[in-house]
Structure 1
């Protein structure tokens, strides 16, 4: 996934960071951080296209998208 997907997200204006987490028992989650809503929206569009075109047959369930502002950080 890192060979094609992460570079795709890094091209989106306002990219700050991307994290992929293995939560165990087949559950994975990713978090993308962008400087503004426009970047976040574009990353969701690109991610949806990538999943549809390259990963859909490998996933038992469709991805869920949750979005919101960062309210704390370190």
Structure 2
């Protein structure tokens, strides 16, 4: 697997707008791409955003970087979001939990009612 970490800067005023557009518009585009594994968007209170993207192959990852650049130009040019610093590399270790076992939903599937 291959991953990229893209670090952006912007005014903290836009944190919510950016997160909503990424969740509602950008993530669905990534999910349609061949080899997509995961995407996370992380923000800091001072206006830093970090996109962490994982693909099964380097080709898909590089395509996602181009997609992200076009998305930034189309949707965030009005807010002054910077061109990102990009780090690309092989994924040396990976872990995840089942969505049903996330911290906000701690009931195990077998503990949930079936009706």
Check whether TM > 0.5: yes
The answer to which structure, 1 or 2, has the higher relative contact order (CA under 8 A, 6+ apart) is 2
- Separation (CA, whole Å) in 1 of partners of 2:89 and 2:39: 15
SS in 2 for 1:22: strand
- Which of 71, 82, 88 is the equivalent residue of 1:50? 71
| Number of residue equivalences | 74
- TM-score, structure 2 length as denominator? 0.59
- Separation (CA, whole Å) in 2 of partners of 1:23 and 1:72: 25
- CA-CA distance at 1:14 after TM superposition: 0.3
Alignment of 1:13-52 (within 5 A): 13-52=34-73
- CA-CA distance at 1:61 after TM superposition: 2.2
| Larger-Rg structure | 2
- TM-score, structure 1 length as denominator? 0.87
2:90 maps to 1:69: yes
RMSD of Structure 2 on Structure 1 (CA): 1.3
- CA-CA distance at 1:60 after TM superposition: 4.2
Segments of structure 2 that go 5 or more residues without pairing to the other structure are 1-20, 96-115
On the 8 A contact 1:19/1:32 being kept in 2, the answer is yes
